[in-house]
Structure 1
Amino acid sequence: MPAPDVPLRKLGFLTIGLFDPDEPAAGHATTLDVIGLGERLGFDSAWVRHRHLQYGISSPLTVLAAASQRTTRIELGTAVMPLGWENPLRLAEDLATVDLLSGGRLNPGVSVGPPMQYERVREALYPDTGDAEDFSYARVERLLSFVRGEPASDFAGVEGFEVFSHRVEPHSPGLQQRMWYGGGSLRSAQWAGEHRMNLLTSSVVKAEGDAAPDFAAIQLGHVRAFRAAHPDGERARVSQGLVVIPTDSASAKQREKYAEYAAKRLPRTAEPQGPGRLLFAPDLVGTAEEIAERLYGHAAFREIDEVAFALPFTFEHDDYVQILTDIAERLGPALGWRPAS
């Protein structure tokens, strides 16, 4: 097994936080338990997905605010918040509040574009302004300006008994350095670099151009384009989020389930999918040693030193405990990573 050029520096994981619609509180409690387990195992970060009108976390910052009070060290991230559903000023207030509650551990990941199934939710979401809403990168720029503390109002001072600030309050000075953009296209990667954000890559990229689609090569191109555009160059932060399922301590029944899960999802990795030409990475299932070898053979992985491995969507809590434990105790060390104390 080839040695990595740089040992893995930060190891994180990503969960969707599914719940039963008849008992949603239990699902949210389980998500908090998983984040707590991640801290005990020494993970550097825990990330939650964002789902609207589905049976997954619709309010990730609320969940992370709760997680911040149950943990002391692990970084807490969103991967990612679709800004088409958000008002940037209000979101900036929530981000700063949760960041302060967590002691500066929040890592907000965002993306742009129209909300998913926009024509079906438009009247409920933006009944009066649907035609005027801007879902471009400008929406991120507004959010970044508020996070930096730039003016949101032309007035600051006392009016009667009320005291007003010209910027979003509360303000968390270090938050701007922990803003991430979730991008799967070359332009998104370049834009994130130009705007001094960090880059979240995932198991999905856009197959652009006429070349034969190769997931690792496309993702490597994104990483390099991002760093070429970022003022920090090679030091600019990139986190990779492949689906990784180690089986070292899994039962025979779990190994069978994991193999079936990956096999069902494998056909979509053969060629780009849909009008957006989305290309998916295969799920990595096997022993920690086998997965480490496959990662070292992944062109994009060899140029990053942070990961947030994605947990499969539909598994049981016991499966997540086994997978996270094997990642922390076997796969991480095989990649040169050391757990946080």
Structure 2
Amino acid sequence: MKKAFYLFVILVVAIGLFGFLYLPNYLSEVSFNEPVVLTIPKGASLNYVADSLYNEGIIKSRYWFKYQAKSKDIDRSIKPGSYDITPGMSLEDIFTLLQKGTLDKPVVLTIPEGFTLYQMAERVESIGLGSTKEFIEATMDYYEENYDFSTENLYFPLEGYLYPDTYHFTDKSTPRDVVNRMAKTMEEVFSQEYRDRAEELDLSIHEVLTLASIIEREAYNDEERATISGVIYNRLEIGMPLQVDATVIYGLGEGKDHITRVLNSHTSTPNPFNTYMINDIPPGPIAAPGKASIKAALYPESHDYYYYVLGKDGHVFGKTYQEHQKNVENYRKLMKNP
């Protein structure tokens, strides 16, 4: 019994000694194969820096990085900027680099969910990262290099493929940098689980993003996204036109102009995106969907609704046309007496 105890003590001491001697060296190792551009915005916390380095695969442990940074008082001297992290750098090299700072000015780009590609291009131009034309050209280049889906009847091939989020760049960033980051983020968001689910539904990624973009523009809040998705699926199943005003608006403006009121003359104007005149989804996305809308497109709610109209705190859903007409009348009364 004593012998077993002594062996246990020796084993614990050996493990502890191994950890003491070798673990710090292991955690301090930096090993990656490709150069990484790390952008640190003004006011970024040590947690943000550690998470960024870890997510890029540069450091082995965010906790060890933070411990080392605090022990050397580096956590208080990290400067914002855009840093080139290259293979062969040590942890100490990275600490030194982060304290030097760069001459590049951090630039924040915020793209709301539901933005069209053209609105993104205008936003990029407004913060000085290139012209609207340059951004659109960069999206065309990215499409040609990375995708092969049909662009027939599409105004902008990458519509719906650029993920809406807040991004950190510098004043040296180019439209190509912006497009690359946004497109790759969407590719990461559309996880393997989502790809498997799309295949299960016999839908292409393009079709899922198209459905998700409609849900994004139609949903009043997160709670009703899956319900609206269910309405879309129900209509498609019986060959019923989707009759979505957002698609009509997108088609009339060719992805650029935006009208605020849809008239009967608009819904009767032939257009590939006019879902009053086609019994299918439009040829492509009409805006940038967020993750919640993508998930709703892949996991629609099962119900018997075929109609919906805006109510007081969101949409009101109906199973029959008669029920829908009552909901429409209630909406009109609500508008007269808000």
TM-score by structure 2 length? Answer: 0.22
Structure of larger gyration radius: 2
Identify, as 1 or 2, the structure richer in strand. 1
Identify, as 1 or 2, the structure richer in helix. 2
TM-score by structure 1 length? Answer: 0.21
With a CA cutoff of 8 Å and minimum separation of 6, indicate the structure with the bigger relative contact order. Answer: 1
